[in-house]
Structure 1
C-alpha cells in the first residue's frame, strides 16, 4: 500500500498556502499519528528552524517518518531562485537548498524543488534558463545522493512557472539534461490544470515519478473536489509507484477536518 503523509508548515510568510497543519510541529505530528498517517512533509523557514534532536525524539514518540522537506521558503522568505539572473543569488539559492538537503538527509527524507525553480524571461530565454536549472539540480542531486535519497523536482502549473508545467515537460527536461538521481513530484492540483488525462500522464512518466501530492482539483483536501481517483490509483499501480501520497492541501474547512477527510479518501483510494 502506498504510504501516506501530511504537510506541516512553520513558515509565517506562507500563511494561506496549501499546507494542512500549521505552526505547531509537535501537536500536528501527534494528531497526524492519531489519524493513521505514516509520515509528515515539512515546510520550514530554513534548515535550522527545527532541532534535529527534538524532531528525532518526536518521530520516535509518534512512529512517524519524514516523507520530504520543502524548499519553497527560499523563495517565499528570501526571494531566492535557482535560475536568477544574478549569479550570487543563484549560489545563495543552491546553498539554501543544500542546507535543506542536509536537514532532510538526517531523516532519510528528500528535498523538493518547486517554486525555487523560478521563471524564464524574454531577456534570459527559456532554454538558457532550463540550462541554469539543470546545472543547479545536477549539483543538488549529487548532494542528495550522499544521503541515499533522490532530489525531487516539481512541475508547476502555468500560473506559477513557465519552465516545466506537465509531467511530460519534467521527463523531457530530466532526460535532455541527463540528470541522475532526480525524480518528479506529481501534484494532482497542478496536473488537473495542465494534463489532458491524469492517468495517462502517470503511465507516460513511469519510473520518473517519485513523489505524489494527494489533493483535489481545487487544492482542497482529497474528497472535497471533483477528481476521479480510481484511474489515478490504477495508473500508479501499473507503474509500480512506491513513494508517498502526501496531502499538500488547503486546511479547508479547517486543519483537523482536512486531515480527517484526506485520510478517509486515501483509504478508499489506496486501501
Structure 2
C-alpha cells in the first residue's frame, strides 16, 4: 500500500513554491504526526541545515520517516546544474547532490534530482546535455547505493526543463544508464501538463516509478483541481506501487488546511487502490 508524506521547506529562496509546510521543522513534524502522515519530505538549503542527531530525534519523537530530500536548493541558491556548459559548475553540482545523498541516506531516504538537471541550449546540444545528465546520474546513483536507497530523478514540464518531460522519456533515460539504482519521480502536476493520460503513463512507467508527488492539476492539494484519481489508483495497484504519495503542493489556502486536505485525499486514493 502506498505511504503518505508531506513536504517541508527550509529554503528561504524558494518562498512561494509548492511546499505544504515552511521554516518550522519541529512544528511541521508535530502536525504531520497529528494528522496521521507516515513521513515528511524535506527541502533543505544544504546538508548542514539540520544535524543528523536533531533530525533523527524529531523523526523518532513523532514516529515519522524521512520519505526523501530535495536537492533543488543547489539550483535556487547556487545556480548549479548537471548540464551547465561550465565544467566547474557541473562538478560543484555533483558535489552538492552527493552531499544531499549523504544527508538523506543516513536516514534511509533518497535524494531527488529535479531542477538541478538543468537544460540544453546556450551552445550545449541536447545530446551533450543528456550525456552529462547520464554521467551524473550514473555516478550519484552508485553513491546512493552505499546507503541502500535509490537516487530519484524527476521529469519536469516543458516550462522548467527541455531535457526530459514525460514518463516515457524518463524510462528511456533510465534504460540507458549504466547503474540500475535510479528511479523516476512521477509528479502529477508536471504530468498533467505533459501526459495525455496520467494513469496510462504511470502504467508504462511501471517498475521505474520510485516516488510520486501527490498534487492536483493547479498545484494545489489533491482534490482541489480537476485530476481524476480513480484511474491513477488503479494504475498504482497494477504496478504494485508501495512508495510514497508525497504532497509537493502549494499551502493553499494555508499550510494546515493543505495538509488536512492532502491526508483526506490520500485516504480516499488508498481506499480506491484497495478496492480496484
TM over 0.5: yes
**TM-score bracket relative to the smaller structure:** over 0.9
Q: How many residues align?
A: 271
Counterpart residue number, 1:159? 159
Give the alignment of 1:42-53 within 5 angstroms.
42-53=42-53
State the distance in 2 between where 1:12 and 1:74 align.
13
Counterpart residue number, 1:103? 103
> Structure 2, unaligned stretches of length 5 or more?
272-276
Deviation sequence 1:102-142 (CA, Å, 0-9, x none): 01011000000000000000521111100000001100001
Q: Does the 8 Å contact 1:13/1:77 carry over to 2? A: yes
Give the alignment of 1:113-128 within 5 angstroms.
113-121=113-121, 123-128=123-128
Q: Does the 8 Å contact 1:134/1:179 carry over to 2? A: no
Counterpart residue number, 1:55? 55
Q: Does the 8 Å contact 2:142/2:179 carry over to 1? A: no
Counterpart residue number, 1:212? 212
Q: TM-score, structure 1 length as denominator?
A: 0.99
Counterpart residue number, 2:143? 143
SS for the counterpart of 1:173 is helix
Deviation at 1:176, TM superposition (A): 2.4
Counterpart residue number, 2:221? 221
Deviation sequence 1:176-224 (CA, Å, 0-9, x none): 2344200000000000000010111011111000000000000000011
Give the alignment of 1:239-254 within 5 angstroms.
239-254=239-254
Give the alignment of 1:59-70 within 5 angstroms.
59-70=59-70
SS for the counterpart of 2:218 is coil
SS for the counterpart of 2:101 is helix
Counterpart residue number, 2:261? 261
State the distance in 1 between where 2:31 and 2:173 align.
38
State the distance in 2 between where 1:28 and 1:180 align.
34
Counterpart residue number, 2:184? 184
Q: Root-mean-square deviation (CA), in Å?
A: 0.7
Counterpart residue number, 1:78? 78
Counterpart residue number, 2:18? 18
Counterpart residue number, 2:131? 131
SS for the counterpart of 1:5 is strand
